[in-house]
Amino acid sequence: MSDAKIVIIDTGCANVSSVRFAIERLGYDVTISRDPDVVLAADKLFLPGVGTASEAMKNLEERDLISLVREVKQPLLGICLGMQLLGKSSQEGKEQVNCLGHVDADTTLMEMGELPLPHMGWNTVTPVNNHPLFKDIPENSYFYFVHSYAMPVGDYTIGQCDYGKPFTAAVQSGNYYGVQFHPERSSKAGAQLIKNFLEM
């Protein structure tokens, strides 16, 4: 069992049990918390999220987590909606929801031609510049996606996926990382990605 302090930030807008189980299977103890002392003392942080950006940001505000997430200096991994919250804003209908602003990108409704939304199921991710988050993950590995909104490809992109057109599947800005897919539901490739993040 590793001595590393791993914390899943308790946002109130995610089912954290599957993320927790995926980390524990790798031999780590996990704490779920929104206590600033616990969060700031962690070695690695996870920010999972499901649902809408407006509800998630409302939850973060009500739990005094917005300034806390902005304060962290250790590596943080946003998952699915958690990655989108790291951007500047997220489209929701005709509205733009202000997000955390760590990544210089806006999340918008996907343009996928004739393909159905949400983008649900398995798809391949192409790493950019052999990013260490994808270390020891075979080429053309599949990851599990469930989403209708995405960030465009940009300088922050460390992994991209195609669904109608390319979009950002993984992101890094300083100590903030994010994946649009669900690594905790992505079999061996997802487990390896979580392991890579924990060992970075």
pLDDT in tens, 100-145: 999 999 999 998 888 999 999 999 999 999 999 999 999 999 999 9
- pLDDT at residue number 43: 98
Distance CA 14, CA 67 (A): 19
- pLDDT at residue number 79: 98
Given the residues 13, 80, 99, 161, the one annotated as active site? 80
Given the residues 24, 55, 182, 199, the one annotated as active site? 182
Nearest by Cα to 190 from 124, 150, 142, 147: 142
Given the residues 13, 99, 102, 184, the one annotated as active site? 184
pTM of the model: 0.96
Structure tokens given for 172? 């890094």
Active site residue 182: yes
Active site residue 119: no
CB burial class (10 A; 0-12, 13-18, 19+) of residue 81?
A: buried
Show the CA angle centred on residue 37, arms to residues 75 and 171, nearest 5°.
20
- pLDDT at residue number 17: 93
What's the distance, Cα to Cα, between the start and end of the chain in Å?
17
Active site residue 99: no
Question: What does the mean pLDDT of the chain come to?
Answer: 95
| Fold (topology level) of 2-199 | Rossmann fold (3.40.50)
DSSP state at residue 35: -
Q: Which residues of the chain have pLDDT under 70?
A: 1
